[in-house]
Copies of this chain bind each other. A is one copy, B any other.
Amino acid sequence: MRINEGVEWGAHCAVVLAMLPDGASLPATRLAEYHGIPAPYLAKSLQALMRAGIVESMTGRHGGYRLGKPASEISLLDVFQAVEGDDTFFRCTEIRRQGPSRVAARAYPPTCGIAAAMWRAEASWRDELSAVTVRDLAVQVMAQAPKAAIVKGSKWLATTLAARNHP
């Protein structure tokens, strides 16, 4: 069982967008360039984030993506669910009600004990991810990333934004 890589990409993009100056945006091609990933694949993740309101798309000459709400209000769970959906990982097919021991459905407790245990674990996973915001991650990147990488990244961003304003 593997999480779609669009979740990783979407989270990284959200963190970069959280660092943009007010009013700025970046098109998908620039976000792809910054992360060294193929633009067509990334576009799909960005569209998923947009459907979830995590990013919004600005049209026009300076168009591109920016966060759709404050970075402190976007959790890593939001990013995950935008890309992967919010179905549970475990789907109970009620096999306890099949075979020779079968009795009327109404006689069973509402949730099979196996499903209940699986879903408790998923709730715990969700709780952890919903406690981490894009703002937390952005603060952590600025604190922990190599200084040289921050300098290079900032330079790229400044050049890219300037070129968009004065092409």
Copies in the complex: 2
Bound CA–CA A142/B96 (angstroms): 12
Instruction: Flag if B113 contacts A144 (CB, 8 Å).
Output: yes
Shortest CB distance A130–B (Å)? 9
* Chain A contact residues, majority secondary structure: helix
Shortest CB distance A94–B (Å)? 10
Enumerate chain B residues within 8 angstroms of A12, measured Cβ to Cβ: 95-96, 114
If A36-B95, A121-B128, A145-B108 touch, does A152 touch B102 (CB 8 Å cutoff)? yes
A1-B87, A37-B95 known; 5 new pairs, CB 8 Å cut-off, are: A8-B114, A34-B100, A76-B121, A124-B125, A124-B127
A residues lining the B interface (CB < 8 Å): 1-5, 7-9, 11-12, 15, 33-37, 76, 84, 87, 89-93, 95-96, 98-103, 107-109, 113-115, 117-118, 120-122, 124-129, 132, 137, 140-141, 144-146, 148-150, 152-153, 156
